[in-house]
Structure formats: structure tokens, C-alpha cells
Amino acid sequence: MIFAPALRTRACMPAARAFDREFERFLTESFVRPDARPRVEQDEQGWTVALDIPGVAREQLAIEIDGAVVRIQTQADAPRKVQAAYELPTEIDADATTAKLENGVLTLRLARKQPVVTSRKVEVQ
């Protein structure tokens, strides 16, 4: 079973670059087997995370997104127990995020949430 004990807030990290290194280290150390390390790629739109979880069916996986936190866990009847949580430097757009399980590899495409501009011009009369 894999478990992420504590999540750091974005305020604790001095810079986004340091957080990216911490995030990659956390992903690497989250898994027991060194050959089961997740593969992480980052671009302007978001992150792609690939996790090896052989023997687990789609119906046995639960993925939850809350702000900048992603939680992945298997249900009680799954042959392999997986429980992990990751915090990203920016909020995740849950509507634009996709998950695909194929041949024992879970591929998450986590989209960055685009900032919403709430300012408006007011006409002076």
C-alpha cells in the first residue's frame, strides 16, 4: 500500500522550481519498488503522469481532484492496494483532466486551471 503522509502547502515552497523538484522527488519516493516509479512530463498546459498499476481494473480505481491536490486510490476489492496523494504548484482543471488505464498503466493528463479574469470596465457618467 502506498500512502502520502502529509501534503505541503504552496506557501511553504520558496519558488515554483523548488516545488517541481519536490513534486518529482515525492512521486519517485512514493512507490515501494524502484522499477515502479511514475513517469512525469510537464508542459504549458499541465502534467502527464503515468503510473504502473498492473492487475487493477478501471472500476477499482478512484481519482479525486480538489484544487491542486490529486488523490488516487483503489477500492477494497482490488488485488493491489494503491493510495497516493499529490499536490501540484497550481490548481488543476478537473473538467479538462483525463485518465486512461491501458495495459496496467494509468495515464493522467492533469490540466492547469486557467486564471479567470474578473475585472470589468465601468463607464463613468
**Model pLDDT for residues 87-107, shown as the tens digit of each residue:** 888 899 999 999 999 999 999
Taking alpha carbons only, the member of 53, 107, 57, 63 closest to residue 77 is 57
pTM for the whole thing?
A: 0.65
Count helices and strands (H / E) in the chain. 1, 7
Rounded Cα distance between 52 and 67, Å, is 24
* pLDDT for the residue 3: 53
Does a structural domain hold residue 3?
Answer: no
Count structural domains, the chain.
1
Residue type, 5: P
The dihedral through the CA atoms of 47, 68, 62, 38 has a sign that is: positive
**Model pLDDT for residues 70-85, shown as the tens digit of each residue:** 999 999 888 888 888 8
Residue 35's pLDDT band, with cuts at 50, 70 and 90, is: very low
**Whole domain around residue 69: which residue ranges?**
10-112
Does a structural domain hold residue 83?
Answer: yes
Does a structural domain hold residue 50?
Answer: yes
CATH (domain of 104): 2.60.40.790
